[in-house]
Amino acid sequence: MPNSSDHALDHVRVAVIGGGPAGLMAAEALARGGVRVDVYDAMPSVGRKFLMAGKGGMNITHSEPLDAFLGRYGKRRAEIEPLLDVFGPDALRAWLDELGIATFVGSSGRVFPTDMKAAPMLRAWLHRLREAGVRFHMRHKWIGWTESASAGAHGLRFMTPDGERGVSADAVVFALGGGSWARLGSDAAWVPSMQQRGIDVAPLLPANCGFDAAWSDYFSERYAGHPVKPVSISVDGVDGSIQHRQGEFVVTSTGIEGSLVYALSSLIRDRLLADGEATIRLDLAPGLSEQRVTEEVTRPRGSRSMSSHLHSRIGISGVKLGLLHECLSKKAFSDAATLARAIKALALRLTRARPIDEAISSAGGVPFEALDGALMSRKLPGVFCAGEMLDWEAPTGGYLLTACFASGLVAGRGALEYLKLKR
């Protein structure tokens, strides 16, 4: 794997801290360049969050056109785009093929390994990295910096089962994750140590998360776990825009979660931060026009109850009917015209995002403005950051993983070029 032209680097040592996709991709790029690579991770094995994310089917990337794909990164599109120019969705699939992992495109456009599993991919990848000379140090939790490293090197402190250990490295790639799923290693404990060295860190916030609603006890007990589908959600962004998206979500004992909610979570969260609460609008009959709903609901119903009328005329029953009862007064529910409007735009008040440790991912982290184009710190030459510890976010659907892989590769190559220049 190392290139013969890079023998001058075979005594250079790089520490990659974090064994998720970004860290492993950085390690691969460095090993290809002939550098001695040591990967450190606080957990007993690498890729814990990666494996957990793949339990329901390893969604590795997405097949939609690149412009639409890039649009998923919202405010950070301009910063993510150069990374995906280096290693985008097609390059990721080609890399997987080289690894011996075939992929296919699902009906939703999402890309999966043919066996739908993450573990075989991770095993094959680790085998290749070990063959390339990458060394792995498990149960090594980074706890800060030392001042005893030689000139031009970085001193690193790790807590291990045998006590504290000091390590010196010529360059460091940090890929420590964000603030979600602490039990799998992403506990954001790195934030104070980065700030102590003058590296800015934007506050970490939950992303791809659920939200709380003030359900009644009856509704919570009756409908927790019920999916709401099909349904459309509209959210007013803090910038004045209005986002509409159709899909499905799940009622929880405290509020709502699921793919449709995750796709809009950044807008809902930002509205909560700005106003202290957020009101979303649910279209419970997205396949019917407002005129059609009004016509059907306002038809004479004879002796039938309104609930029976809704079920027979437009198929509103179960949890959707429960939502109408929960969010409307008895008077409003009994008024056909008011009810018809609510079916197409039911206001649901959300009170807070679920805690960050429950979120699929997190926003915030090291801002791109604190890094150069190779993801190296402007204040600490030789220190690179990659993956979810950077300040960006994306919805589920393969977008998170693709950008993590890409940023790891860019950081690894950047560290390699930095070391070449130092020589």
The pLDDT tens digits of the residues spanning 207-221 come to 999 999 999 999 999
| 126 Cβ contact list (under 8 Å, min separation 6) | 24, 46, 136
Cβ atoms of 93 and 48 within 8 Å: the answer is no
- Looking at residue 114, the DSSP 8-state letter turns out to be T
160 phi-psi bin (left φ>0, alpha ψ -120 to 50, beta other): beta
- Domain identity same for 20 and 154: yes
Q: Is the pLDDT of residue 423 over 80?
A: no
The alpha-carbon radius of gyration of the chain (Å, integer) is 25
The amino acid at 243: Q
- Rounded CA-CA distance 293/308 in Å is 15
- Rounded CA-CA distance 381/213 in Å is 46
Q: What percent of the chain has pLDDT above 70?
A: 97
- Domain identity same for 250 and 323: yes
- E-strand ranges in 208-353 read 211-213, 227-236, 242-251, 255-257, 278-283, 346-353
**Residue 199, CA distances (Å) to 81, 205, 322, 368, 383 in order:** 23, 18, 49, 11, 10
Strand, coil or helix: what is 393?
coil
Q: Is the pLDDT of residue 360 over 60?
A: yes
- Domain identity same for 231 and 82: no
313-319: average pLDDT: 96
- Domain identity same for 75 and 192: yes
- Rounded CA-CA distance 73/268 in Å is 16
Q: What is residue 55's predicted lDDT score, i.e. its pLDDT?
A: 78
Higher pLDDT, 152 or 60: 60
C-alpha closest to that of 261 among 273, 251, 253? 251
- Rounded CA-CA distance 96/74 in Å is 27
- Domain identity same for 223 and 200: no
- Domain identity same for 193 and 57: yes
Q: What percent of the chain has pLDDT above 90?
A: 90
Q: Is the pLDDT of residue 2 over 80?
A: no
- Domain identity same for 61 and 188: yes
- The residue from 329, 353, 377 where one domain ends is 353
Q: How many residues does the chain have?
A: 423
- Domain identity same for 187 and 202: yes
- Domain identity same for 92 and 185: yes
Q: Is the pLDDT of residue 173 over 80?
A: yes
197-206: average pLDDT: 95
- The residue from 299, 333, 353 where one domain ends is 353
Is the previous residue joined to 230 through a cis bond, with omega within 30 degrees of 0? yes
Cβ atoms of 8 and 33 within 8 Å: the answer is no
Whichever domain contains 179, its CATH number is 3.50.50.60
Cβ atoms of 18 and 175 within 8 Å: the answer is yes
- Domain identity same for 273 and 390: no
Q: What is residue 153's predicted lDDT score, i.e. its pLDDT?
A: 87
Is the previous residue joined to 355 through a cis bond, with omega within 30 degrees of 0? no
- pLDDT tens, residue by residue, 31-81: 999 999 999 999 999 999 999 887 778 999 999 999 999 999 999 999 999
> In the numeric block, which tokens belong to residue 122?
């991770």
- pLDDT tens, residue by residue, 123-140: 999 999 999 999 999 999
181-199: average pLDDT: 92
Going by pLDDT thresholds of 50, 70 and 90, the confidence category of residue 318 is very high
> In the numeric block, which tokens belong to residue 150?
């030689």
Cβ atoms of 157 and 143 within 8 Å: the answer is yes
Q: What is residue 151's predicted lDDT score, i.e. its pLDDT?
A: 61
> Which contiguous run of DSSP H or E holds residue 113?
strand 110-113
- The residue from 325, 353, 381 where one domain ends is 353
Going by pLDDT thresholds of 50, 70 and 90, the confidence category of residue 165 is very high
> Which contiguous run of DSSP H or E holds residue 311?
helix 306-314
The amino acid at 91: A
Q: Is the pLDDT of residue 152 over 90?
A: no
- pLDDT tens, residue by residue, 267-304: 999 999 999 999 999 999 999 999 999 999 999 988 89
The amino acid at 360: I
Q: What is residue 149's predicted lDDT score, i.e. its pLDDT?
A: 54
Q: Is the pLDDT of residue 141 over 80?
A: yes
341-350: average pLDDT: 97
- Domain identity same for 295 and 379: no
Q: Is the pLDDT of residue 1 over 50?
A: no
Q: Which runs of consecutive H residues, i.e. helices, occur in 55-88?
A: 66-71, 77-86
Cβ atoms of 118 and 57 within 8 Å: the answer is no
Q: What is residue 150's predicted lDDT score, i.e. its pLDDT?
A: 58
- Domain identity same for 342 and 217: yes
Q: How many domains does the chain have?
A: 2
Dihedral of the alpha carbons of 373, 376, 377, 382, in degrees to the nearest 10: -150
Q: Is the pLDDT of residue 418 over 90?
A: yes
Q: What is residue 406's predicted lDDT score, i.e. its pLDDT?
A: 98
Average pLDDT value for the chain: 94
- Rounded CA-CA distance 187/357 in Å is 8
Owning domain of residue 34: 4-206+362-422
**Residue 233, CA distances (Å) to 97, 365, 396 in order:** 38, 28, 17
- pLDDT tens, residue by residue, 241-267: 899 999 999 999 999 999 999 999 999
> In the numeric block, which tokens belong to residue 403?
């950008």
- Which residue, chain included where needed, has tokens 């926003």? 363
